[in-house]
Structure 1
Amino acid sequence: MKKFIGAFIGLLASIQVIACSCLPIDTLTQKEYEEAADIFIGKAIRVDTLLEQNVIAITFKVKKEIKGAETKEVIVTTPISSAACGLSISKGDVWYIFGSVKNGQLRANMCGRHKDLTKAPCGLFSKEKEAIKYEKIRYKENKASIKKELDLISTMKKG
């Protein structure tokens, strides 16, 4: 029995786990900006799972158009699975999206410059006050990061 358990554990250890892995995101480059199809801040107003394409389609109401996103509503797709780097976006969430086009669809995934502007991690805090404090800090950090990126984009548009 011990041999069986040892062999089973060895087998499990040898199975390769496939998960989302992203490179660090550096300062925005002119090339990245030019290659981006749409850059905007929007609120998710509809979330649909498209099993046949293995994606989730999120309809955003555009709150601030930065590049592209010339309509009031934009559909962005992301892989269904977080293991495939899919974003977890719920109806009502507000996101900064830096989208690219793949197979005719505007895409976003965990490895991009996208930022969730609405959520603090659930269950991380026992006290509501701490959660609110954390959320405010996180929001300020995201806002500062996005402002820096928008300033850089503004410079790129002029040049």
Structure 2
Amino acid sequence: MPTKKNIVIFFSAVIIIAVAIGYYFYNKGPVNVKNATAIKTEAVTLYQSFLKDSATAKKTYLNNVLEVSGLVMKVSKNQEDQVIVMLQTNESGAYINCTMEKDAAVVPENKQATLKGICTGMGMGDADLGIMGDVYLVRCYLVM
């Protein structure tokens, strides 16, 4: 039969380990997108992956750093004054929507570009209105 002292030591060790793990993850910080290893893909391929089998695409791409190549269709700014780059897909009205970092290089329209960012998934769109969902990348940089 374990003694009271052994039980206290065991639970104290478990608490210390849990606190150490929590401290590590709290101080880990965000991923450095510029230096992270990325999954390389084309804009058309990425979009088709989400369109055909979103569950598999989520397992493969969601919250991972991607390096996506494609034709820049539009460059604009959102309400938060962030630059948004839209890469062409093979579906009309559907894009790879890339939110650029503030210090990212300027991306020219109607040119091929490769962008690196974190995939946050595919938007819903609206089938009744014929609006396709976009695939979203955040914290993007232009790859030279």
TM-score (norm 1): 0.35
Report the structure, 1 or 2, having the larger helix content. 1
TM-score (norm 2): 0.37
Q: Which has the larger radius of gyration?
A: 2
